[in-house]
Structure 1
Amino acid sequence: MTIRPASLSVKTMSPKDRHRRVELSSVRAALPEDALRLVGDYERHLAVERGLSQHTVRAYVGDVVSLLGFLHGVTGTNPGSAVAESATETQRSLDGLNLACLRAWLADLLGSGASRTTVARRAAAARTFTAWARRKGVLAGDPGARLVAPRAQRPLPAVLKTEEMGEVLLASASGAAELQPVALRDHAVLELLYATGVRVSELCGLDVGDIEFDRRVVRVIGKGDKERVVPFGVPAERAVRDWLDSGRPAIVRGARKPENGALFLGIRGGRLDPRTVRRLVHDAIGAVPGVTDSGPHGLRHSAATHLLEGGADLRAVQELLGHATLATTQIYTHVTVERLKAIHDQAHPRAR
């Protein structure tokens, strides 16, 4: 199976991301041939064996290219200096990749202005790569196992209050009452995002057959191609039914080549794009005065926080959100504690 190097559409990238992509492409092209083969093998491992998304593969491979470029003295601004002597064995491509090199690479990233979060993510990518290289036999040991990066700053996620979320959905329902196809779709998207807490990529990947109205659940394919079943409530059921009964057929009739299986469609009949979802969520929230702007991930944060505040078990919320570890879900407990403290400060006579 041939894996093409993961890429982004230039039109959808920010100038900063576009510059980094061009720089990494220059570095990758200037790496020694054995290092290039190793990067290709690793890319296939991530995409085929681990089944990671294109976005995740692109991020992991980009970090490895950055690391190998540092190891071989390759820079995006001076790729010509990167062509080191060609090695005859794959192992030569990782000569010198030890703990000191990994630490120097991270220090260089910090010195160039990278955030602690970025450095922590790249350190994690390096550990994943060195562990794979050790299993493959390319490295005699695993230097990444002892690599400690600066702890990433984890700001509390922004969440909407329950009543604010209710106002957003009420306004959306008013628009859907006019029975315009796009308004019906947008309302169904908002209701389902909030009801299930799914990621925007998971929502856009849903097919009509993934919805089970009799049980009010949706089958979701998450990270690593892992499937989970997520329940939703009556308002979301009603919104999705209205979309399927009235909105979706209207778009299909007007499309030249509609995406037959997709649950949500764009105005031209193709599968709904994540960028469109982000835009419609921002527009819906922005239409309600006084509500802090947020996107699809904000609805995911809000759903998780409201579940915990309503008494849901942390382990159950982990399953609903599709988190690999409970530690990821625990950030929402910090949110609820902060909100409890705020309520206490306002309501308790001896709080101050």
Structure 2
Amino acid sequence: MTAGFRDLADWTHTSPKQLVALHLTKSPNTERGYREDLGAFTAWMGNRTADQAVRELLESGRAAAKRLLVSWVNRMRSDKLSASTIRRRAASIRSLISTAGDPDIEIIGWQIGRLPNLPPAARVRDCTGPGRDDVMRMFVACRQRDDAIGRRNEAILSLLYYHALRAAEVLSIRLQDVDMDEPAIRICAKRGAGRMSLRLCQRTAAAVDRWLKDRGDDEERDAPLFSRCARWGGKALPQPLSYWGLLAMVRDVGETAGIRCWPHALRHAAITHVSARTHGSPAWGMALSRHRDVRAWMGYQDVQVSHVSAAEILSRDQIVSSEPDSADN
């Protein structure tokens, strides 16, 4: 193929159907989102299939393709769709175009570039989570049960809060992933990064150890660490805990402690609290959260600094204290 800019699409080596399949080869959640976004674009184009919409888009050339996307964004804005939905859909189609322009595929020799009419991104999520005292009351509620379910719940809360694990990461832990000699666990990390090892803090290690004694040994080391604690005829049934079971458990414990809570809120709380206790240090915060991009970690900071404020500080030769306004945010 000819290197450099080439406006016309070349389907010699890759068909539209193959391009769509490659575009959708992502993690399950990303694939579901991309498929929905591509379906919305296909419906707007008036095509029967995504393959036809992709062919028409890429064969129109760079200028016409950009006009199409600008018109689509304008239509979504007139339909009063949220800014996040519009930006996500546009990013999905731009990703498809980027795939088509990949040097190893090179269906086209151009990229779409910046879309001038995208609505500004706005932070609408509250990333603070419950306060430290609220979380501690949840731990107390688990200990007050003084049974296997209470000890299981305390171990789960310890992983969700002290280690800021995601719900899927907690549920991915198998018996063979637990090493109490270290102590450490292995989790199935986000974005297909495979299993990674994490050392446990003392409180979490103690909570997991107490739960293991209640759970008992399982002949199948591939069995999940956390089960439902179901019993039938006086015999324990080691049924795996589902996400919905985990969600219901955290909500119930939160209600007992007098707060509204869900699994990911504990991760938010953990990152917010460690940031407050380390003067907003990204080194500590990103080590706990395992964020790859510092911008994701910055979403948990409650201190917003304007450009002019920074300029005033510099011009006045002032020293700014790194102490946060409050310990629990």
- Bin for the TM-score computed over the shorter chain: 0.7 to 0.9
2:319 maps to which residue?
Answer: none
C-alpha distance 288-69 of structure 1, shift in aligned 2 (>3 A)? same
User: Where in structure 2 are the equivalents of 1:126-275 lying within 5 Å?
Assistant: 126-135=93-102, 136-143=105-112, 145-147=113-115, 149-155=118-124, 156-175=126-145, 177=146, 179-180=147-148, 182-226=149-193, 227-247=195-215, 249=217, 260-266=222-228, 267=230, 269-275=238-244
1:325 maps to which residue?
Answer: 293
Deviation per CA, 1:220-265: give whole Å up to 9, x if none. Answer: 332222254434322221221121111355xx69xxxx78432222
Shift of 1:219: 2.7
Q: Is the 8 A contact 1:220 1:229 kept in 2?
A: yes
2:82 maps to which residue?
Answer: 115
Q: Which runs of 5+ in 2 are unaligned?
A: 1-14, 231-236, 306-322
Query: Which segment drifts farther, 326-335 or 313-322?
Result: 313-322
User: Where in structure 2 are the equivalents of 1:307-346 lying within 5 Å?
Assistant: 307-311=274-278, 313-334=281-302, 340-341=324-325
2:317 maps to which residue?
Answer: none
User: Where in structure 2 are the equivalents of 1:9-28 lying within 5 Å?
Assistant: none
2:80 match: secondary structure? coil
2:35 maps to which residue?
Answer: 61
2:302 match: secondary structure? helix
C-alpha distance 270-70 of structure 1, shift in aligned 2 (>3 A)? farther
Q: Is the 8 A contact 1:259 1:269 kept in 2?
A: no
C-alpha distance 108-296 of structure 1, shift in aligned 2 (>3 A)? same
Distance 1:103 1:92 in 2: 15
Q: Is the 8 A contact 1:259 1:270 kept in 2?
A: no
Distance 1:335 1:280 in 2: 33
Shift of 1:186: 2.0
C-alpha distance 111-277 of structure 1, shift in aligned 2 (>3 A)? farther
Aligned residues: 280
- Paired amino acid for 1:280: M
Q: Is the 8 A contact 2:276 2:324 kept in 1?
A: no
Q: Is the 8 A contact 2:185 2:197 kept in 1?
A: yes
Distance 1:232 1:296 in 2: 19
2:158 match: secondary structure? helix
Matching residue within 282, 306, 316 for 2:273: 306
Structure (1/2) with the larger helix percentage: 1
Deviation per CA, 1:53-83: give whole Å up to 9, x if none. Answer: x122211222123223333x14xxxxxxx36
1:282 maps to which residue?
Answer: 251
Deviation per CA, 1:135-193: give whole Å up to 9, x if none. Answer: 122333111x3135323321332421111111111111212x1x23x333222111211
Shift of 1:286: 1.1
Q: Which runs of 5+ in 1 are unaligned?
A: 1-33, 47-51, 75-81, 344-352
Larger radius of gyration: 2
Shift of 1:330: 0.8
1:230 match: secondary structure? strand
